[in-house]
Amino acid sequence: MNLTALLKDLENCPCGRKHSFDVKRVEIASGVTSKAGEILESESFGKRLLMVADANTYSASNGLEASLEKSGFSVKKLIYPDLRVASEEGIAEVLALSNDIDAIISVGTGSLNDICRVASFRAKKKFCIFATAPSMDGFASNSAPIISGKFKESLFVAPPSVIIADTRILANAPIELKASGFGDMIAKINADFEWRLSNILTGEHYCERISSLSVGAAKKVISLADKVCEKSEETAGAIMEALVISGLAMALENTSRPASGAEHILSHYWECYKLARDIPQEFHGKKVGVATLLMTEIFRNAVDRYESVTECPENPDWDDIYSKFPKETAKDIERLNFPSVTDKIVPGSIEKNWQKIRELAYEILPTKQELIRTMRAAGAPTEIEDIGISRDLLYEGLKYHPYMRHRITFTRILPLIGIDICDLLD
Ligand SMILES: [Zn+2]
Ligand SMILES: [Zn+2]
């Protein structure tokens, strides 16, 4: 991937902001595993590596270790049987092995990458991700979701300086993981709608170029829906590239705005609910995909059913809202809501701009039917039952998720125009 050209295109961006990222090199190609050693050598990764993988990703990366050793690297290994959760304990295990090494290479996706992302940052070591599945857009991310106790927190760290992905390996990744990457990517269209919505209502900074980078990547993935389940190197490579671009778009804008909106917050609500009760989690992109479909239905029904809206004072029942979150997070909920993000909305502007918002929704968002068709083609789940969410938890999440984030979303403005979100479902 030509990162230099990408940055060059964004020089003197008309939006007025300086855009940059810290990822130095992204190599997505067929058979690139055998060149991994050369790549890390030319990126000054030292000589002593710690490789962190699980049994599946380690066996999928066949040839990687040989390539590294051929280039003169010594490779110390930490191979987990399976690692579903990124926790402080995992970070400590990686750190305990990091004293006598120069750099860390994480072989896999999700949690494996996340513990290494934090450990390499804390130990001040260079970091490479060798991706084994196109499953989510966090590869280029500079933050890591870490489970601490029964809570999830987002730790700000550094992104990997190198990302390597062999399309031969990606193409053979489990369909569930590829479909998960698809689910994470369709969210970018909704995210863009809400980013533009906030720009209209609050004047939040919006960059056309970053938006088109992220939306362009999403559209590319959507156009490949029919091929996601195939073992096609070309498709898997294109999805991987889109996922990396989405991550870079967040870094370039310095917020997750281009990639994440109400659907991610709703998914996060479900995740926290299950975490507090020790219920196993589904893959990120599976949940986000279903949440995206629900949000598409909600947004489109709102603009279909309401030709005009009237602003009204919202009267949140804070005792009720606090009761939905663990007591230990009360301070966070307070910090996120006082002052309220809705204070940024110029009074009267939702009413005044409603037509514009409706037009935007029709212009940007797919219909629910279109989205269902592409999701099914891509092997992505479309029903809450598919991701272990009950009707009750669906309604609870819809009602309370907007208070988990200090961000203007379409779902956060609904109480300001007297619309009950649950009434917007079909
Ligand atoms: Zn810009
Ligand atoms: Zn995501």
Q: Specify the CATH number for the domain of residue 367.
A: 1.20.1090
CA neighbor of 83 nearest in space, from 71, 94, 68: 94
pLDDT at 84 over 90: no
Q: What is the arithmetic mean of pLDDT over 3-22?
A: 96
Q: How far is the CA of 150 from the centre of ligand 1 (A)?
A: 38
Q: How far is the CA of 144 from the centre of ligand 1 (A)?
A: 25
**Residue 71 identity (one-letter amino acid):** S
**pLDDT at residue number 329:** 87
| Domain identity same for 112 and 198 | no
CA neighbor of 38 nearest in space, from 22, 25, 57: 25
**pLDDT at residue number 12:** 96
User: Which-ligand-closest: CA of 265?
Assistant: 2
Confirm whether 252 is domain-assigned: no
**pLDDT at residue number 154:** 85
| Domain identity same for 44 and 90 | yes
**Count of CB atoms within 10 A of residue 148's CB?**
12
Confirm whether 231 is domain-assigned: no
Q: What is the arithmetic mean of pLDDT over 250-271?
A: 95
User: Which-ligand-closest: CA of 212?
Assistant: 1
Q: What are the residues whose beta carbon lies below 5 Å from ligand 2 (ion)?
A: 184
Beta bridge partners of 78: 52
Q: How far is the CA of 323 from the centre of ligand 2 (A)?
A: 27
Q: How far is the CA of 11 from the centre of ligand 1 (A)?
A: 9
Confirm whether 399 is domain-assigned: yes
Rounded to whole angstroms, the Cα distance separating 165 from 157 reads: 22
| Domain identity same for 123 and 51 | yes
**pLDDT at residue number 151:** 77
Q: How far is the CA of 96 from the centre of ligand 2 (A)?
A: 30
Confirm whether 233 is domain-assigned: no
User: Which-ligand-closest: CA of 184?
Assistant: 2
Q: How far is the CA of 5 from the centre of ligand 1 (A)?
A: 15
**pLDDT at residue number 141:** 87
**pLDDT at residue number 142:** 85
Q: How far is the CA of 31 from the centre of ligand 1 (A)?
A: 35
Q: How far is the CA of 127 from the centre of ligand 2 (A)?
A: 21
Confirm whether 226 is domain-assigned: no
Q: How far is the CA of 141 from the centre of ligand 1 (A)?
A: 19
Q: Which residues contact 379 (CB under 8 A, 6 or more apart)?
A: 175, 176, 178, 179, 182, 228, 229
Confirm whether 214 is domain-assigned: no
pLDDT digits (tens, 9 = 90+) for 370-387: 999 999 999 999 999 999
| Domain identity same for 78 and 118 | yes
Q: How far is the CA of 253 from the centre of ligand 1 (A)?
A: 8
**pLDDT at residue number 162:** 98
pLDDT digits (tens, 9 = 90+) for 146-196: 988 777 888 989 899 999 999 999 999 999 999 999 999 999 999 999 999
Q: How far is the CA of 370 from the centre of ligand 1 (A)?
A: 30
Structure tokens at 335: 């910090």
User: Which-ligand-closest: CA of 138?
Assistant: 2
| Domain identity same for 157 and 194 | no
| Domain identity same for 110 and 196 | no
pLDDT digits (tens, 9 = 90+) for 353-369: 999 999 999 999 999 99
Does residue 339 have a cis peptide bond before it, meaning omega lies within 30 degrees of 0? yes
CA neighbor of 91 nearest in space, from 45, 180, 153: 153
Q: How far is the CA of 202 from the centre of ligand 1 (A)?
A: 18
**Count of CB atoms within 10 A of residue 426's CB?**
7
| Domain identity same for 309 and 342 | yes
Q: What is the arithmetic mean of pLDDT over 293-319?
A: 96
Confirm whether 251 is domain-assigned: no
> Domain of 134: which CATH number?
3.40.50.1970
| Domain identity same for 326 and 190 | yes
pLDDT digits (tens, 9 = 90+) for 31-54: 999 999 999 999 999 999 999 999
Q: What is the arithmetic mean of pLDDT over 227-243?
A: 96
Q: How far is the CA of 252 from the centre of ligand 1 (A)?
A: 8
Strands (E), 223-365: none
The domain tally of the chain equals 2
**pLDDT at residue number 152:** 81
| Domain identity same for 266 and 155 | no
C-beta of residue 75 within 8 angstroms of C-beta of residue 49: yes
Domain boundary among 154, 173, 192: 173
Q: How far is the CA of 310 from the centre of ligand 2 (A)?
A: 33
Confirm whether 135 is domain-assigned: yes
The range of the structural domain enclosing residue 359 comes to 178-204+257-424
pLDDT at 59 over 90: yes
Backbone phi, then psi, for 103, in 5-degree steps? -160, 160
| Confidence (pTM) | 0.96
| Domain identity same for 316 and 340 | yes
Mean pLDDT of the chain: 96
**Count of CB atoms within 10 A of residue 305's CB?**
10
Q: What is the arithmetic mean of pLDDT over 241-263?
A: 96
**Percent of the chain's residues with pLDDT above 70:** 100
| Domain identity same for 302 and 400 | yes
Q: How far is the CA of 239 from the centre of ligand 2 (A)?
A: 14
Rounded to whole angstroms, the Cα distance separating 422 from 297 reads: 11
| Domain identity same for 268 and 406 | yes
